[in-house]
Structure 1
Amino acid sequence: MPAPALLAAAIIACTAPQVHDGDTLRCGADRVRLYGVDAPEVKRGKTPAEPLAYEARDLLVSLTRGRVGCRVVDHDRYGRHVARCWSDASPDINAALIRSGLTTEYRRYSKGAYASAEAEARQARRGVWASGQTRVTR
């Protein structure tokens, strides 16, 4: 098996990872970007937080309080692992975040893998879909 395939098949596991925002966490030294999830940005310097940014972050915190596992599917330009994750609280953290409506599918990379979760949030008018307005999706 070639080296990139071995890296992509890696599993990262930890208990109660640090959560940076609604689509990024840290398991020990491993930085993990959730595959297919696009969360509103939290405040950075003088740039204000986007609507629902802290709600998305808080949901990710609640979904990762216990044991967490992540299957690496890629790496991004910042050197983070891009992964599909699960926990004691959810068999699919990525889908749960999108289904909540607090995040959207990052279609540019996921190619529709979470389309049904996003459609469920949109139909139920949860989160970003509550007012009928949408964020710019990537």
Structure 2
Amino acid sequence: MRVRLYGIDAPESKQAWGQKSKQALSTAVAGKTVKVVNHGPDVYGRELGTIWLDGYDINASMVDSGLAWVYRFQDEAVVPSYIKFDTGAKNASIGLWSDKSPIPPWEWRQINKKTEKPEKKTPRPNW
């Protein structure tokens, strides 16, 4: 099952810390039985969930480890309890916060949307 992590925004794969974030999440949950609290689909139809492993909120852990930002909608944290983890990681210069000026993924996507060339798509056959 593929799940978008609710309440957080991790760096994109081509962005600084993107691969480290993905690897940390994979290492944490791969091959393990987890509980996913489903929050329904996002505006793009992707399932949003909070992953729990042995009583730990993995979404919060990603923020606490400095491997994701707290997701905000209209300047409000979707999960306000994650703010303390974000602040702690930032104050300790952990993970992406060890960079001088980390770029949040929502800003990175906007910058790269304007500069990336559209990918040519191979037409699908009409069978």
Query: Is the aligned partner of 1:117 residue 2:88?
Result: no
Of the two, which has the highest radius of gyration? 2
Secondary structure (helix, strand or coil) at the match of 1:114 reads helix
Residue in 2 aligned with 1:73?
A: 39
> Map of 1:49-128 to 2, 5 A cutoff?
49-65=14-30, 66-88=32-54, 91-108=56-73, 110=78, 112-128=80-96
Partner Cα distance (1:95, 1:119) in 2 = 12
Identity in percent: 31
TM-score by length of 2: 0.72
Moved over 4 A (4+): none
Cα RMSD of the aligned pairs, angstroms, is: 1.8
Partner Cα distance (1:37, 1:79) in 2 = 17
Instruction: Note the residue ranges of structure 1 that are not aligned, 5 or more in a row.
Output: 1-26, 43-48
2:12–2:105 Cα contact (<8 Å) kept: no
Q: What is the aligned length?
A: 102
| Residue deviations 1:47-86 (CA, integer Å, cap 9, x gap) | xx00010000001001112111111123112222111111
TM-score by length of 1: 0.66
Higher helix share: 2
1:122–1:129 Cα contact (<8 Å) kept: yes
